[in-house]
Structure 1
Amino acid sequence: MDLIEAILIAIVEGLTEYLPVSSTGHMIFTSSYFGIQEDDFTKLFQVSIQFGAILAVVALYWRKFFNFSKFNFYIKLALAVVPALILGYLFDDYIDAVLGDPIPIAIVLIIGGFILLFIDNYFKNPTIAHEEDISIKKAVTIGFWQCLAMMPGTSRSAASIIGGMQQGLTRQTAAEFSFFLAVPTMLAVTCYSVFLKTYKVSGLKGYELLMQSGDNLKLFAIGNIVAFIVSIIAIKFFIGVIKKYGFKPWGYYRIIAGALLLIYFIYIK
């Protein structure tokens, strides 16, 4: 991976992490286009730059994350992330196997797109407009919905937002709670990938891959900075779009993008 490839992948991560379009799928397509997807450092990089995206949410919603008088907020996030931590650990090998094949990811993109076209009509009467009104039970239920994103191409954001709307949250509240839930979820995944996971090709831990060279550390740092800046822009843009247009634009995007990617990987590459 060179510097330009790292920056482009980080831009893709920042643009798509909080949109219902699957950041993992987009990064896999990007790295596959560059011919570097099978490289262990690339796989680590794609996960570790989520740390920059995490910081974007904390920076934008810092009053929420550092309001220690409302301890219930932290309890809800801690319990909601448990299903993803357990199932993610159990199915890690399966997820890695799917990540190597872009075809099923493109198909899932298309299927998810059709779901988003109709999701606004299905959940018409939300009753919860503020995070404070989300019960612990509802938060945990949304956490289980988030687990659907273990299939690359589904989108963690889409799964948790749909789960929120199914639990009676407004579009904006569901989106914002999805952002909040992303922080402990992606922090756990990033820490696991860097400190605990052994990568199959090299046989090295994530931190060993990072420490292999100064270039790896430089790419890691730059990738996180780029993902942080782009994520801030993307989050503000996304909230504005769903307030005005709902989820249909993202549904159309997923269908078109998935179809083009299928054509590319089946007939061109």
Structure 2
Amino acid sequence: MTDLLAALLLGIIEGITEFLPISSTGHLLIAERWLGHRSDLFNISIQAGAILAVVLIYRQRLWDLAMGFIGRGASAGHSPAGMALTPAQARDYAFKLAAAFGVTAVLGIVVKKLGFELPDQVTPIAWALVLGGLWMIAAEHFAAKRAAKLGERAAITWTVAILVGIAQVVAGVFPGTSRSAATIFVALLAGTTSRAAATEFAFLVGIPTMFAATAYELMDVIGNGQAAHEDWTALAVAFVASAITAFVAVKWLLHYIQSHRFTAFAIYRFVLGAALLLLVPTGS
């Protein structure tokens, strides 16, 4: 297999799995065993390609929030529940996005400075997939019970924002957890019973998070001279593939969750995790 084809396949895998709650990092670590190991810059950059797709999908939402934040216009668009946001509500929402990102940034730098490296064995990834599936089912169950009792809540509280920021770091530390799953289901457990609202906040806070991670990694690579050894053509191919496939995947997911729970993704995690544990019992 040529290097460009391998990069293309990795970009497609990233684009499909980044926002579906099935763990992009876990899938990439497994795929690299057959397609070849890639640099940290490569992996972070193709995640940024997927985030670019979210920027395009939510471009009007982001613009509305920005206009509401600076107090222009009578409304800052609509919330996931379909209610118009006033400029004051838009500012509040933007501050909560900033808080979630700030928590992630601070804790992420601490983890980086401590020299933590992602485990690349299959066994912990498999267990994270299985346990994450259980987490998803439990979160939706309790969110549904709360919604039946109190009604659907689309509001994002400060508690939700802080916990989402922490969840992003946890997902980054444990491959197989899934950033989107961790953040969406933390939001559901913390009081936001609307799947659409939890998903949107998780996706929007991922925009500055992944772009910042890409910039940080790029500066590090340039600083230590590794950039000269990067295959920029392969990276570009993977970046574009990731962006295109993520655009399609996110569009599909946003439509899917309007009338479906995340149960199918939990089952997929169970099956994949169990298969990995059985097929690779030594974790090698």
Please tell me the TM-score bracket, short chain as reference: 0.7 to 0.9
User: Bigger shift: 241-250 or 156-165?
Assistant: 241-250
The match for 2:162 is 140
Q: Which residue of 194, 206, 213 corresponds with 2:218?
A: 194
The match for 1:47 is 44
Q: Is the 8 A contact 2:160 2:191 kept in 1?
A: no
Shift, 1:220, TM fit? 1.5
- After TM superposition, the structure 1 = structure 2 runs for residues 52-131 of structure 1, keeping only pairs within 5 Å, are 52-67=49-64, 68-71=66-69, 72=91, 73-92=93-112, 95-98=116-119, 100-124=120-144, 125-126=146-147, 130=154
Matched AA of 1:187: F
Q: Which residue of 162, 167, 188 corresponds with 1:165?
A: 188
Q: Is the 8 A contact 1:211 1:217 kept in 2?
A: no
2:234 maps to 1:212: no
Shift, 1:137, TM fit? 4.5
SS state of the match for residue 96, structure 1? coil
SS state of the match for residue 280, structure 2? helix
Shift, 1:243, TM fit? 2.4
SS state of the match for residue 245, structure 1? coil
> Which blocks of at least 5 consecutive residues in structure 2 are unaligned?
70-90
SS state of the match for residue 279, structure 2? helix
Distance in 2, Cα, partners of 1:59 & 1:115: 30
Shift, 1:154, TM fit? 0.7
CA offsets, 1:206-230, max 9 Å, x none? xx434336xx111111111111100
Matched AA of 1:189: A
Q: Which residue of 240, 250, 262 corresponds with 2:265?
A: 250
SS state of the match for residue 266, structure 1? coil
Q: Is the 8 A contact 2:128 2:177 kept in 1?
A: yes
Q: Which residue of 176, 192, 215 corresponds with 1:153?
A: 176
- Mark the CA change 1:250 to 1:186 in structure 2 (over 3 Å): closer, same or farther: same
| TM-score, scaled relative to structure 2 | 0.81
The match for 1:238 is 253
% identical aligned pairs: 32
| TM-score, scaled relative to structure 1 | 0.85
- Mark the CA change 1:101 to 1:188 in structure 2 (over 3 Å): closer, same or farther: same
Shift, 1:248, TM fit? 0.7
Shift, 1:174, TM fit? 0.5
The match for 2:25 is 24
Distance in 2, Cα, partners of 1:32 & 1:239: 31
Distance in 2, Cα, partners of 1:43 & 1:231: 20
Shift, 1:268, TM fit? 9.8
2:12 maps to 1:11: yes
2:198 maps to 1:174: yes
Is the radius of gyration larger for structure 1 or structure 2? 2
> Which blocks of at least 5 consecutive residues in structure 1 are unaligned?
199-203
Q: Is the 8 A contact 1:128 1:168 kept in 2?
A: no
The match for 1:263 is 278
Shift, 1:249, TM fit? 0.5
Distance in 1, Cα, partners of 2:236 & 2:183: 28
CA offsets, 1:49-82, max 9 Å, x none? 1111111011001012223222224322221112
**Over the residues paired in the alignment, what is the CA RMSD in angstroms?**
2.3
